[in-house]
Amino acid sequence: MAGRHFGLCEAVGEALSAGPDQGQNEHDHRKPSHVTSLPVYHKSLMVNVRHDWSIQEIETIYTSPLTDLVFRAAQVHRAHHQADEVQGCMLLSIKTGGCPEDCAYCPQSARYDTEVGREDLMQVDETLMAARSARDQGATRFCMGAAWRDVPTDARFDRVLEMVKGVRELGMEACCTLGMLNEKQAEALAGAGLSAYNHNLDTSPEFYGEIITTRNYQERLDTLARVRNAGISVCSGGIIGMGEDRAARYGLLRQLAMLDPHPESVPINMLVPVEGTPLGSRPAEDPLELVRMIAAARILMPTSMVRLSAGRLALSEEAQALCFLAGANSVFLGDKLLTTPNPESDADHRLFEKLGVKLFGEAPRATA
């Protein structure tokens, strides 16, 4: 145990030596905040951003005593981010169900008999109404999800571009998750002002085939490269609780941290088991594994936004507090994710109040 502990201090402690300000983040959390009373930790705690973490180093970090792990992650977090602020994001499923892919966790796959119905692509005005409502609820990022394997190149794509422009005009960050993208589509989305594109690696390359067979890991990496090349910020993370072992989590973290630059946004989801999907009867994951995953992501990718994503309804307030302490700095607001439930907004506001967590950078209200 002492050796492991030493290992963590070494892995992180070395990295805690003065390093260049990589300035990768899409938000500059180091700006003096208008609201915080907490000190931003001294710049000397800023870490070198690395892309060469080995599986052994990641294991050492992930398996260190929980209090050490969370302490280190909190140090890294405070060196790079405003630790009492969390970004509120809101999701909207703009095209639901009927997806030809076979992702074992997903209620929107046409291959599984779930309660999720099929709905065509929404209209632009309905979408923007939802975005305005999200902004009124404190969200600064609006994420539009479509159950597509890849993006159709027809009038529906033009409609998505209009949605992106509209969300940007509301003063919000616009994120899309539409499946695989080609180069032209990525450029068109960038031209429309898209802030970020979400495409998750989901798990390690080794475990991936247990979960998805209809597209491969390399295709995911290729889409991420096209997003990056188009100048859109990358949102990519994964899911825990699908029956993977810890090695699969280290493998996912390593793949994410190998991306250069790191994804600006790393959503960490805990499986929401949905009846009718192959993973519908998975037992609940231990919330402390989620805390470890978040802490490790924070340490490996210090400047990224680490997003506590799906699965919050299964977490106690205490577990969520630990996730924030471990470096999560974003949540999805609103009582629905894409198709599954999320905490009610009253419960979230009570929680944020109790924890002294603030939603940061509320969007300006001047436009539209």
Interface residue list for ligand SAM (CB under 6 A):
105-106, 145, 147-148, 177, 179, 199-200, 202, 239, 269, 271-272, 274, 310, 338
Q: Which of 235, 249, 298, 312 is catalytic?
A: 235
Closest CA to 254 of 222, 296, 285, 317: 296
Q: Minimum distance between the CB of residue 272 and ligand SF4, rounded to whole angstroms?
A: 12
Reading the block at residue 117, the tokens are: 């119905």
Binding mask 176-195 for ligand SF4 (x = CB under 6 A): ---x----------------
Reading the block at residue 108, the tokens are: 């929107």
Q: Is residue 280 a contact partner of residue 243, using CB atoms and an 8 Å limit?
A: no
Q: Minimum distance between the CB of residue 123 and ligand SF4, rounded to whole angstroms?
A: 20
Q: Minimum distance between the CB of residue 282 and ligand SF4, rounded to whole angstroms?
A: 16
User: Among residues 173 and 202, whose Cβ is nearest to ligand SAM?
Assistant: 202
Closest CA to 77 of 317, 323, 355, 249: 323
Active site residue 99: yes
Helix/strand/coil for 101? coil
- Which of the ranges 49-57, 106-114, 279-287, 316-324 carries the binding residues for ligand SF4, by CB under 6 A? 106-114
Active site residue 89: no
| Choice from 15, 47, 76, 99 touching ligand SF4 (CB under 6 A) | 99
User: Among residues 91 and 192, whose Cβ is nearest to ligand SAM?
Assistant: 91
Reading the block at residue 301, the tokens are: 């990718």
Binding mask 51-90 for ligand SF4 (x = CB under 6 A): ----------------------------------------
Active site residue 9: no
Q: Which of 89, 106, 176, 323 is catalytic?
A: 106
| Choice from 87, 185, 269, 320 touching ligand DTB (CB under 6 A) | 269
Q: Which helix (H) or strand (E) holds 359?
A: strand 358-359
Cα of 217 vs its chain's centroid, Å: 18
Q: Is residue 296 a contact partner of residue 257, using CB atoms and an 8 Å limit?
A: no
Check residue 109 for interaction with ligand SF4 (CB under 6 A): yes
Q: Is 193 left (phi over 0), alpha (psi -120 to 50) or beta?
A: left
Annotate 141-203 with DSSP letters as a single string: EEEEEE--SB--SSHHHHHHHHHHHHHHHTT-EEEEE-SB--HHHHHHHHHTT--EEE---BS
Check residue 314 for interaction with ligand DTB (CB under 6 A): no
Q: Which of 72, 292, 298, 307 is catalytic?
A: 307
**Within a 10 A sphere around the Cβ of 306, how many other Cβ atoms?**
28
* Cβ contacts of 175 within 8 Å, gap of 6 or more: 89, 141, 142, 143, 144, 194, 195, 196, 197, 198, 235, 265
**Within a 10 A sphere around the Cβ of 62, how many other Cβ atoms?**
22
Q: Minimum distance between the CB of residue 32 and ligand DTB, rounded to whole angstroms?
A: 31
Looking at residues 250 to 279 of the shown chain, list those that interact with ligand SF4 (rule: CB under 6 A).
Answer: none
* Cβ contacts of 40 within 8 Å, gap of 6 or more: 29, 30, 32, 78, 79, 82
Q: Which of 89, 103, 176, 323 is catalytic?
A: 103
| Choice from 57, 101, 173, 264 touching ligand SF4 (CB under 6 A) | 101
Active site residue 176: no
C-alpha neighbours within 13 Å on the C-beta side of residue 176: 35
User: Among residues 12 and 268, whose Cβ is nearest to ligand SAM?
Assistant: 268
Binding residues for ligand DTB, total number by CB under 6 A: 17
Q: Minimum distance between the CB of residue 132 and ligand DTB, rounded to whole angstroms?
A: 20
Dihedral sign computed on CA atoms, order 144, 208, 8, 326:
positive
Question: Where along the sequence are the contacts to ligand SF4 (CB under 6 A)?
Answer: 99, 101, 103, 106, 108-109, 147, 149, 179
Question: Where along the sequence are the contacts to ligand DTB (CB under 6 A)?
Answer: 91, 107, 143, 145, 177, 198, 200, 237, 267, 269, 272, 309-310, 337-340
Residues annotated catalytic, as ranges: 99, 103, 106, 143, 175, 235, 307
